[in-house]
Structure 1
């Protein structure tokens, strides 16, 4: 690999094709998680989650869930720069971003399974 010297004196390595593919695959999982949540979550909540519940109660619960989604999106405005700073200042033998990709993907996959599977008695759904 050749090195490129930046104007401020630090040395930056050009990334190879394998490293670019690895980061793209890491981002694929995050993008799949986000798209599944944004596409199917509201449909799931409105049509499946509260199907056997009184309509008035279901409307209130859907309102609560929608409010939580809005609050979380607003909180992301303030939390994302802090997390970006944390990732940028991480130094491990695996690099800066790779541990965050691994653990974030692991946690996201578990949470996605929990949300849509009806675990913990959230809903009475067919497990298949």
Structure 2
């Protein structure tokens, strides 16, 4: 399902509308960490998104900002300081993100898998 920018076509259903806004490999991770950690700087977000390039992270952050899920605050200091935080619209996703996190934890547990955050990662065979 390609991302539609500027809402150029009506979605076929409400699920498509919702998923179209948050699709992207790192958007859920970004939203999750902003929900858990509060206001966060770019480098901290990049540490949470292992394997994500700075360019892709910037693109995902800009799309989330354009869609009204996050605020980007730039401070006029040297070196530049940029912070990201959730908007009210972004915080409205909190119950969904928490439920999705719980479901993901159960899915991993049923398979005996761990996350990087758990410290013990079982290598995929």
TM-score, L = length of structure 2: 0.27
> Per residue, is there more strand in 1 or in 2?
2
Q: Which has the higher helix share?
A: 1
Per chain length, whose mean CA-contact separation is higher, i.e. which structure has more relative contact order (CA < 8 Å, sep 6+)? 1
Larger radius of gyration: 1
